[in-house]
Structure 1
Amino acid sequence: MTRPEAESGAVSDDDYARLLAFRDGLRRFLHWSEDQARREGLTPSRHQLLLAIRGHPGPPSITDVAEHLALRHHSAAELVGRAEAAGLVRRVADADDHRVVRLALTAEGETRLAALAAAHLEELSRLRPRFDALWVDLPSQEPSTSR
């Protein structure tokens, strides 16, 4: 179904309300997520680091983690160093290229992240009906070939 506003390029009052609801939902979820991380004894940035390591296909490098977290390489390396000192991550030499350092979670990092992941999946399930409603009648876009 195509919305007349989308075809004409006009943004309707309903569109503005949908965008507001989406941004509000994102902010509330992020605030909730940060609180959950703190309750688990982690800073929000350490929680994101653990997720970037565990969610990456295969052991990530610091460069990979920096990309996931939208950080500069040196900032990601500092975050990794603090998490390593806290016993949450460990550095592993790459089997093929000894110049590359890979990252892995320690048992402690795995335990803390697993608790947070379970809570986050439960919260996303709870929020799903609210977010699903935002997609109703939203036109799908073809992937853009230019940026």
Structure 2
Amino acid sequence: MERGGGTVSGKHADSVYYRVLDDALSLSEKIEQMGRKRFDELTGRQIMFLAMISSFDEKPSLGDMARKARCSHQNAKTVLGALHKKGFLDFKLDADDQRVLRIHLTKKGRVVGLRALEELDRLVSRIGENVDREAAEAFADVIAELSEVFGGTFSLMGDGQEEQAAL
């Protein structure tokens, strides 16, 4: 299978590790573009957050979202803040613990969140129909290893926000 069209060239073109990174970035960009075509005013990350919020049985907190999205609280807060500004969700204090903000989808947020979940289900089904299970498992293993290399985040310098904060 010939691969080409990526951004890696010159002495790095033959490196499988550069190709993995280049292909992962390219795949991420394609997913982002697919999302933007279906949900014009939202980024791929915002679409995924709406889908994730819709998947909870109870109203999630900021911490719940950060854990589910595998990102920092600050990153989750930024994405959720943008969704709030666009009218997709509201924040309300938890009835039992006033220190906790719960995320409540607006009607607009519920409609788009459920649509995003449906789109995600179709995409995953399409992947399952077209990608060998063993290849998908190997890919998932590589992504998990890359995540560990980058300290749980995908900082290009290899240092996660948590490590930066500790310095």
**Which range, TM-score by smaller chain?**
0.5 to 0.7
Q: Which runs of 5+ in 2 are unaligned?
A: 1-19, 139-167
Question: How many residues get paired?
Answer: 116
Deviation at 1:123, TM superposition (A): 2.5
Runs of 5+ in structure 1 lacking a partner? 1-19, 139-147
Counterpart among 23, 31, 36 of residue 34 in structure 2: 36
RMSD: 2.9
**Is the CA contact 1:54–1:104 (under 8 Å) kept in the aligned structure 2?**
no
User: How far apart, CA to CA, are the structure 2 residues paired with 1:74 and 1:127?
Assistant: 31
Return closer, same or farther for 1:52/1:125 CA change in 2, 3 Å cut-off: closer
TM-score by length of 2: 0.57
Query: What's the counterpart of residue 72 of structure 1?
Result: 72
Tell me the amino acid that sits aligned with residue 38 of structure 1: R
Query: Greater Rg, structure 1 or structure 2?
Result: 1
Q: Distance in 2 between matches of 1:102 and 1:94?
A: 6
The structure-2 alpha-carbon separation of the partners of 1:36 and 1:111, relative to structure 1 and needing over 3 Å to count, comes to farther
In structure 2, C-alpha distance between the alignment counterparts of 1:64 and 1:126, rounded to whole Å: 28
Separation in 1, partners of 2:90, 2:113:
15
Aligned residue for 2:129, secondary structure, equals helix
Write out aligned runs for 1:49-68 (5 A). Answer: 49-68=49-68
Which is worse superposed, 54-63 or 33-42?
33-42
Following the alignment from structure 2 to structure 1, what is the Cα–Cα distance between the partners of residues 75 and 124?
29
* Percent identity of paired positions between Structure 1 and Structure 2: 25
Q: TM-score, normalised by structure 1?
A: 0.64
Q: 1:73 to 1:119 in 2, by over 3 A?
A: closer
